[in-house]
Amino acid sequence: MTKRIVLLILGLLLLTTAPLVGQEEPQPSKFSGVDWYSTLYIKLKPDKVGRVQEIVYGHLLPAGQAAGNAKPQVYEFSTGEWNMVIFFPMPDGPSSLAWERAPSDAKFFAALAKQEGSPEKAQALFMEFLGCMQESRQEVARKQR
């Protein structure tokens, strides 16, 4: 019985590795034809949905547009544990993660400060937005063009 199991395992190994014999080794390659996104999942504190909608649609999105940044996609969930997910385009792909503060972020905060009347007011609004969150999660995703 043990001999039969060993032969079965060896046979399966041969079947799975046979296609590799005579093939070239895989070469490194980058993703092509994809768009990259930084995704922000947001779970809000109770009774904060309305205020977050005001901040996002009335302040943050217009500031991003004024800064010339690519427009994020905002989705509000009807089911599940998260209230909202925002897909921020990453025109430079994952290499933009190397920035501690990306140029697009600096342009956004400058536009938000101009829009709100001062850097302090912009910072206070952004901190209010963050304070409405019970939990958040950020991930990187890609989408085929």
Please state the rounded mean pLDDT for residues 58-87: 97
- pLDDT digit string (tens) for 108-124? 999 999 999 999 999 99
Residue 30 Cα distances to 6, 27, 36, 70, 144, angstroms = 40, 10, 13, 23, 13
* Cα(75)–Cα(107) distance, integer angstroms: 24
Predicted local distance difference test score (pLDDT) of residue 3: 60
Domain range for 65: 34-94+102-144
Q: CATH code at 84?
A: 3.30.70.100
Whether residue 19 lies inside any domain: the answer is no
pLDDT band for 12, please (50, 70, 90 cuts). low
Predicted local distance difference test score (pLDDT) of residue 16: 55
Please state the rounded mean pLDDT for residues 2-9: 54
Number of domains in the chain: 1
